[in-house]
Chain A
Amino acid sequence: MSELNELTLAEARDGLKAKRFSARELTQVHIAAVEKARALNAFILETPERALAQAEVSDRKIAAGEARPLEGLPLGIKDLFCTHGVTTTAGSKILEGFEPHYESAVTANLWRDGAVMLGKLNLDEFAMGSSNETSAYGNVVSPWRRTGSDAQIVPGGSSGGSAAAVAAHLCLGATATDTGGSIRQPAAFTGTVGIKPTYGRCSRWGTVAFASSLDQAGPIARTVRDCAVLLASMAGPDARDTTCVDLPVPDFEAAVSRGVKGLTIGIPKEYRVDGMPAEIQKLWDQGAAWLKDAGATIKEISLPNTQYALPAYYIVAPAEASSNLARYDGVRYGLRVPANDIVGLYENTRAAGFGREVKRRIMIGTYVLSAGYYDAYYVRAQKIRTLIKRDFEAAYAEGVDAILTPATPSAAFGIGEKASADPVEMYLNDVFTVTVNMAGLPGIAVPAGLDSQGLPLGLQLIGRPFDEETLFAVAQTIEDAAGRTALPKPWWA
């Protein structure tokens, strides 16, 4: 009998319901797995006592026949979600020891549905990064390694802790957030599934902000179905976030088995970027072939403004971030480095509290919003954003149901490999994912195979606004065709 942590979330749910094991047992197995996997540095904070206490409540609920949708299922929570009475750091020194007196809307929804919290997951500082190397609490190590190599690999970012923990079976699923690809890129790098729902599907209330107009929460899990189950609980209207839509949450799990017959899948020619590795092109073609075999129509489409998305993103996101992060000033909470006057206090606190990448983006954002530069940068970036949105609208108006692209331009890279590189090289990781955030659309990354070095590769599906259901159906078809990716060998345990 395999360990309980090898079950998928849906299997574990069904097992609990059938009383094949208890929530306490399931939780204990996960707590042990977390403890053994500290070499991955996926958790910033482990909360085993809380997990066990929640599991006991779940066992009572199950015994009483009152199981809720996520009853007794152990999850990891990205440390960007504020959790009541549990330290929330956003991966930054500036929030070291910060204990919120409130619970984020997304995590509150999970606890409402009976989920169990194993702890807070590592991430790039303030979700700014694509490799989880910018965290003030150390980088996360991917459970994956290249065939025949001991070199440490990045899990991607910013939700690197979420992806690594899910891939290494430390939790059944995890919350994550995605501003430019922070769910989908780490999912692709770790052979897991991650969905960024439509902007407005999940409330942003209580989630530490990076770039407000782009940030969106979503799950990372090991299967498409598990993501559907988790998103159904995470999503929902919230009057406290005026950008959160007042739409009922569909039965996402039911959509998983819809199939793709009769659907039209768009292949955007502009995503065939210069220097794309042959392996990625091959994977992409393979994905299209699988969908065609399953009854979908494949159609080449054009999204002509794609090339401007990344530069525009790196104006809009830092601009919003520079303003969102102004509140970390050492006055009310978090780190304070004293000085003789208030300006000194700001300077000392922010110099000590923020890491290099965060400072870089605050500087960029401050610059592009400055008098005399605002029109040249911010206003033009917003215009590009409108054009990108229109590209997608035109494609969908022509009958395209979902768009298939690679999730990333390459497989995961080694830790430190890009440390000395031009930061733009790191930013290029987001080239296929940022368009989705800029247009506010839903996007899912699903594993589709391994590269020649044995590292996972993922495909991305982009959907119509608020049509995550089609994405789940199409992603499930790819998951079925690709087969579940082999597990990384547990070298860390």
Chain B
Amino acid sequence: MNAPVNPKKLIKGGLHDWEVVIGMEIHAQVTSRSKLFSGASTAFGAEPNDNVSLVDAAMPGMLPVINTECVAQAVRTGLGLKAKINLRSVFDRKNYFYPDLPQGYQISQYKDPIVGEGEVLVDLPDGESITVGIERLHLEQDAGKSLHDQAPNQSFVDLNRSGVALMEIVSRPDLRSSEEAKAYVTKLRTILRYLGTCDGDMEKGNLRADVNVSVRKPGDPLGTRCEIKNVNSIRFIGQAIETEARRQIAIIEDGGTISQETRLFDPGKGETRSMRSKEEAHDYRYFPDPDLLPLEFDQAYVDGLAAGLPELPDAKKARFVADFGLSAYDAGVLVAERASADFYEAVAKGRDGKVAANWVINELFGRLNKEGLGIDQSPVSADQLGSIIDLIGEGTISGKIAKDLFEIVWTEGGDPRAVVEIRGMKQVTDTGAIETAVDEIIAKNPDKVAQAKEKPTLLGWFVGQTMKATGGKANPAAVNALLKAKLGIE
């Protein structure tokens, strides 16, 4: 918190510059087949109230039973955040009335969460890295959904989500700009997806953020914060922070004070508005849930889960830099998604890592982005791309032809080597054939030959003509060498 202030991140005010301080609570839906305390399915998209057990509907006498897979997922996530795993944690009841909360309380973890302090390393677009502290991670039940648009004078309730496991991941107020906040959520999501503990799908609401924002004069103590609830896209997180920070600065510069409250971000209007003040805040009357014993496991259980963890993005990035000689930036791009990293590794295996990275990042990602496709939807497989790179490496095709080949494989598929054969795309390295073409061009253009002796840059014109004559298949190096010799250019 007392890290040196980076002037680039300050917001210009009327009186002086302002520093924005941000902390986040991320609600990540645990990837599991059934809910946190019941056997009902967590499948998305079912008809309303199809995935509701007696426990989820809070029928009289029903009792929660912890889903051990959700516990394992929380521990894996804690390990991925380099956090302290608490071998004993406690489930509490958070009491409040709401129609989509059938029990009249949410089962959550209050004083004794399953995961304690950890950290996330976040790379920023300008190449700088920051470490964001994690205060805690706890398990809790999701609520159901109120449907207000089904009847004019009634609301309906869909309990499919009721009881689904969430991990609430609370960061320290270590973020200093909307860029940092966005980068943090992006990185956290990457880690969760690597771990397979949350799919990170914000459109489905499987990852939501509550954003705490305050502003201060650099060096001052923390200002009063406002919490912006339930922001559901990374872009909106950035917008909400910018909007809220400017609102607070305007109030303070006008001589006002910020009152602690919960606010909502309206992306349509580009504003945040008050939801409830501190005085209206619920008294949740937390107490340990007497239906559940404390959650206890031993270190061996944690070690077992740790042994089964996949390589995480930071480690993978470091390995890509070390083993493949990639730049930190390229490595960062490749590891942002586990599937991309896996794809790259498959391409790079036994090949030049840098060449592979160029092809994956520039050609493949470029094309995928243009078409709005994910890596798992790529029409070109790692094997196909690898073959293309091999064909260049062994001199069978030129880089230029390779791009054409990539295009053919993208649209039509097929084994690149076979395509090259069938379509006669092989590079001509037979100097005899090239020489014939070169001689012909020289014979036809005596004026250009004369000029070339004065102006060696005309060589390019001759190269172009030769390539044209050979259908682009001539080996460019061979063409160059021959032309230079015949034209007498050094």
With beta carbons under 8 angstroms apart, the residue of B102, B105, B287, B292 that contacts A242 is: B292
CB-based contact A242/B60 at 8 Å: no
Interface members, chain A 336-386 (any B CB < 8 Å): 342-343, 346, 366, 369-371, 374, 378
CB-based contact B66/A242 at 8 Å: yes
Task: Please judge, given known A-B contacts A346-B97, A370-B283, A370-B285, whether A326 and B60 are in contact too, CB under 8 Å.
Answer: no
With beta carbons under 8 angstroms apart, the residue of A98, A211, A213, A378 that contacts B60 is: A98
**A98 to B103 CA separation, bound complex (whole angstroms):** 17
**A404 to B88 CA separation, bound complex (whole angstroms):** 37
Interface window among B40-48, B51-59, B227-235, B417-425: B51-59
**A212 to B290 CA separation, bound complex (whole angstroms):** 6
Report if B93 contacts A (CB, 8 A): yes
Task: Please judge, given known A-B contacts A319-B287, A323-B285, A326-B95, whether A82 and B104 are in contact too, CB under 8 Å.
Answer: no
CB-based contact A332/B63 at 8 Å: no
Report if B71 contacts A (CB, 8 A): no
Q: Name the residue among A90, A100, A329, A374 with the largest chain B CB count within 10 angstroms.
A: A329
Report if B157 contacts A (CB, 8 A): yes
Interface members, chain A 34-63 (any B CB < 8 Å): none
Task: Please judge, given known A-B contacts A82-B60, A90-B60, A346-B97, whether A243 and B293 are in contact too, CB under 8 Å.
Answer: yes
With beta carbons under 8 angstroms apart, the residue of A207, A319, A370 that contacts B61 is: A207
Shortest Cβ distance from B103 into A: residue? A327
CB-based contact B59/A333 at 8 Å: yes
Q: Please, which residues of chain B bring their CB within 8 A of the CB of A346?
A: 97
Interface size of B in residues (CB-CB distance below 8 Å): 29
A271 to chain B, nearest CB (A): 27
Identify 6 residue pairs between A and B in the complex whose beta-carbon atoms are under 8 Å apart, listed by A's number: A95-B60, A100-B59, A242-B291, A323-B93, A327-B103, A343-B97
Q: Please, which residues of chain A bring their CB within 8 A of the CB of B62?
A: 205-206
Q: Please, which residues of chain B bring their CB within 8 A of the CB of A240?
A: 63, 65
CB-based contact A326/B105 at 8 Å: yes
With beta carbons under 8 angstroms apart, the residue of B104, B287, B292 that contacts A326 is: B104
CB-based contact B95/A369 at 8 Å: yes
Task: Please judge, given known A-B contacts A326-B103, A327-B102, A332-B102, whether A241 and B287 are in contact too, CB under 8 Å.
Answer: no
CB-based contact A242/B293 at 8 Å: yes
A462 to chain B, nearest CB (A): 22
CB-based contact B54/A101 at 8 Å: yes
CB-based contact A82/B61 at 8 Å: yes
Residue positions of B touching A, CB distance < 8 A: 54, 57-66, 93, 95, 97, 99, 102-105, 155, 157, 283, 285-287, 290-293
**A80 to B283 CA separation, bound complex (whole angstroms):** 30
Query: Which 5 A-B residue pairs are closest in the complex by CB-CB distance?
Result: A326-B104, A369-B285, A213-B290, A212-B290, A327-B58
Shortest Cβ distance from B285 into A: residue? A369
Q: Name the residue among A213, A327, A346 with the largest chain B CB count within 10 angstroms.
A: A327
CB-based contact A329/B104 at 8 Å: yes
Task: Please judge, given known A-B contacts A323-B104, A326-B105, A331-B99, whether A104 and B285 are in contact too, CB under 8 Å.
Answer: no
**A323 to B101 CA separation, bound complex (whole angstroms):** 13
CB-based contact B293/A100 at 8 Å: no
A207 to chain B, nearest CB (A): 5
CB-based contact B283/A371 at 8 Å: yes
Interface string of A186-209 (1 = CB under 8 A from B): 000000000000000000111111
CB-based contact A205/B63 at 8 Å: yes
Report if A88 contacts B (CB, 8 A): yes
Q: Please, which residues of chain B bring their CB within 8 A of the CB of A343?
A: 97
With beta carbons under 8 angstroms apart, the residue of A204, A213, A325 that contacts B63 is: A204
Interface members, chain A 289-335 (any B CB < 8 Å): 319-320, 322-323, 325-327, 329, 331-333
Report if A102 contacts B (CB, 8 A): yes
CB-based contact B97/A326 at 8 Å: yes
**A242 to B157 CA separation, bound complex (whole angstroms):** 29
CB-based contact B60/A243 at 8 Å: no
A437 to chain B, nearest CB (A): 12
CB-based contact A211/B59 at 8 Å: no
Q: Please, which residues of chain A bring their CB within 8 A of the CB of B64?
A: 242
**A329 to B59 CA separation, bound complex (whole angstroms):** 12
CB-based contact A342/B99 at 8 Å: yes
CB-based contact A209/B58 at 8 Å: no
Q: Please, which residues of chain B bring their CB within 8 A of the CB of A241?
A: 63, 65
A220 to chain B, nearest CB (A): 20
Shortest Cβ distance from B60 into A: residue? A208
A378 to chain B, nearest CB (A): 6
**A346 to B101 CA separation, bound complex (whole angstroms):** 13
Task: Please judge, given known A-B contacts A326-B95, A369-B285, A370-B285, whether A102 and B59 are in contact too, CB under 8 Å.
Answer: yes
Q: Please, which residues of chain A bring their CB within 8 A of the CB of B290?
A: 211-213, 243, 320
CB-based contact A206/B61 at 8 Å: yes
**A82 to B285 CA separation, bound complex (whole angstroms):** 28
Shortest Cβ distance from A241 into B: residue? B63
CB-based contact A323/B59 at 8 Å: no
**A333 to B54 CA separation, bound complex (whole angstroms):** 12
**A242 to B107 CA separation, bound complex (whole angstroms):** 15
Report if A239 contacts B (CB, 8 A): yes
B267 to chain A, nearest CB (A): 27
Q: Please, which residues of chain A bring their CB within 8 A of the CB of B65?
A: 239-242
CB-based contact A331/B102 at 8 Å: yes
**A320 to B57 CA separation, bound complex (whole angstroms):** 19
Shortest Cβ distance from A105 into B: residue? B61
**A325 to B95 CA separation, bound complex (whole angstroms):** 11
CB-based contact A329/B54 at 8 Å: no
Shortest Cβ distance from B64 into A: residue? A242
B38 to chain A, nearest CB (A): 10
Apart from A102-B54, A205-B62, A242-B63: 15 A-B pairs, beta carbons within 8 A: A88-B60, A100-B60, A101-B54, A104-B61, A205-B63, A240-B65, A242-B66, A243-B293, A323-B285, A325-B104, A331-B102, A342-B99, A369-B286, A370-B283, A371-B285
